[in-house]
């Protein structure tokens, strides 16, 4: 790691952080740009380009090699939430509530959401669920905790749903998803993530609910888009249909490490320019 005073490229701009209210006001306007972030240097780079940074529980799969998001705990989310808040100056930072920290009761949800905000400096929490979570969302929002909903494909319910397949590809599946989105929006969520649904349903949900709908695998019809940053940067071999790889950083990393390893083995690195000399010598 660099030891320069600003190792993350954090600039001197004053913090002028977006709020949940700012995001809510973007309904129907210029699409809302969102990405996941888990660490300070990445957050600092994404911040300039994004309206919202989600500290997703996908951190468990992306950084810790878990095979689902179910094993992520609140402490992990708080640790990464703090790191992201250090790097973000303008985007709204949202902390994902991990599985098992909000479903039991609205009081449990409040206690843990309050920790997520007060211990990180983030501006909102996200939780998965539809009609069954509406009362909880209302409880939180009335007590000063901005909530981003998450309906459609809900990764924390992978066992109940039996996988990650897209939803709403048959009209008979539409009503429960639409009802979930409406219930969460009417409970005071400032926006709703809609994951893994067919385009006509995404359009219907976006036209129906009053708050912004942020799609992931939910077509271009939504009010905004979110992706897992490492997916769109090409850091993983698997590539779901809904992900566009905007870079191939996985390959770039492999190439760079290959070069490093060859140069070390050939004693070409470190070169003269990377080598400290005695004070007073010529170079
Ligand atoms: O955890 C996460 O990264 C998410 C997004 C994929 C929406 O929930």
User: Rounded distance, CA 251 to CA 227, Å?
Assistant: 20
pLDDT in tens, 63-117: 999 999 999 999 999 999 999 999 999 999 999 999 999 999 999 999 999 999 9
pLDDT at 198 over 70: yes
Helix axes 199-208, 174-186, angle to 10 degrees: 30
255 falls in which pLDDT band (50, 70, 90)? very high
Probe ligand 1: pick from 33, 34, 52, 58, max atoms within 8 Å of CB?
Answer: 58
User: Rounded distance, CA 95 to CA 116, Å?
Assistant: 7
- pLDDT score recorded for residue 283: 56
Of ligand 1's listed atoms, the one at least distance from the Cα of 195 is: 7
User: Rounded distance, CA 156 to CA 102, Å?
Assistant: 12
281 falls in which pLDDT band (50, 70, 90)? confident
Q: How far is the CA of 94 from the centre of ligand 1 (A)?
A: 11
Instruction: Write down the residue that tokens 């000399």 correspond to.
Output: 277
Helix axes 134-142, 106-118, angle to 10 degrees: 50
- pLDDT score recorded for residue 11: 59
Contacts 24+ apart (CB under 8 A), 32-36: 32/191, 32/212, 32/214, 32/223, 32/224, 32/225, 33/224, 33/225, 34/214, 34/224, 34/225, 34/226, 35/226, 35/227, 35/228, 35/229, 35/232, 36/62, 36/226, 36/227, 36/228, 36/229, 36/230
pLDDT in tens, 153-172: 999 998 888 888 899 899 99
Q: What is the mean pLDDT of the chain?
A: 94
Mean pLDDT of 2-31: 79
Write down how long the chain is. Answer: 283
Return the CATH number of the domain spanning residue range 20-232: 3.20.20.60
Does residue 53 line the site of ligand 1, with CB under 6 A?
A: no
Question: Judging by beta carbons within 10 Å of its beta carbon (0-12, 13-18, 19+), is residue 114 exposed, middle or buried?
Answer: middle
Mean pLDDT of 31-40: 98
Mean pLDDT of 203-216: 98
- pLDDT score recorded for residue 8: 55
Residues 229, 75, 20, 130: what is their CA dihedral angle, to the nearest 10 degrees? 90
pLDDT at 192 over 70: yes
Does residue 216 line the site of ligand 1, with CB under 6 A?
A: yes
- pLDDT score recorded for residue 10: 55
pLDDT at 280 over 90: no
pLDDT at 4 over 80: no
**Joined tokens for residue 135:** 């009362």
Mean pLDDT of 110-137: 98
Does residue 227 line the site of ligand 1, with CB under 6 A?
A: no
- pLDDT score recorded for residue 232: 98
Mean pLDDT of 186-193: 98
Percent of the chain residues topping a pLDDT of 90: 88
**H/E/C letters for each residue in 237-260?**
CCCCCCCCCCCCHHHHHHHHHHHH
Domain ranges within the chain, ordered by starting residue: 20-232
233 phi and psi, to 5 degrees? -90, 0
User: Rounded distance, CA 275 to CA 55, Å?
Assistant: 39
Residues 233, 117, 105, 150: what is their CA dihedral angle, to the nearest 10 degrees? -30
- pLDDT score recorded for residue 163: 85
Q: Residue 195 catalytic?
A: yes
User: Rounded distance, CA 62 to CA 40, Å?
Assistant: 15
Query: Of 195, 199, 207, 273, which is the active-site residue?
Result: 195
Percent of the chain residues topping a pLDDT of 70: 95
34 phi and psi, to 5 degrees? -135, 145
């Amino acid at each position: 790691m660099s030891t320069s005073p600003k190792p993350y490229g954090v600039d001197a701009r004053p913090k002028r952080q977006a709020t949940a209210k700012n995001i809510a006001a973007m309904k129907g306007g210029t699409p809302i740009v969102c990405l996941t972030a888990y660490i300070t240097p990445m957050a600092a780079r994404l911040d300039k380009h994004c309206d919202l940074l989600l500290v997703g529980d996908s951190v468990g799969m992306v950084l810790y090699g878990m095979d689902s998001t179910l094993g992520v705990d609140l402490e992990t989310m708080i640790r990464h939430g703090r790191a992201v808040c250090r790097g973000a100056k303008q985007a709204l930072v949202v902390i994902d509530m991990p599985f098992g920290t909000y479903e039991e009761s609205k009081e449990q949800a409040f206690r843990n959401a309050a920790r997520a905000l007060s211990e990180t400096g983030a501006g909102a929490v996200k939780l998965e669920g539809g009609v069954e979570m509406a009362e909880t969302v209302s409880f939180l929002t009335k007590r000063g905790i901005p909530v981003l909903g998450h309906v459609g494909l809900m990764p924390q319910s992978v066992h109940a749903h039996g996988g990650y397949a897209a939803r709403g590809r048959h009209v008979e599946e539409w009503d429960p998803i639409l009802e979930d989105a409406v219930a969460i929006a009417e409970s005071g969520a400032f926006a709703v993530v809609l994951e893994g649904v067919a385009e006509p349903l995404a359009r219907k949900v976006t036209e129906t609910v009053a708050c912004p709908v942020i799609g992931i695998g939910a077509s271009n019809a939504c009010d905004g888009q979110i992706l897992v940053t490492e997916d769109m940067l090409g850091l993983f071999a698997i590539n779901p249909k809904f992900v566009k790889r905007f870079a191939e950083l996985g390959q770039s990393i492999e190439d760079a490490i290959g070069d490093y390893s060859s140069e070390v083995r050939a004693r070409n690195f470190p070169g003269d320019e990377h080598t400290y000399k005695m004070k007073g010598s010529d170079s």
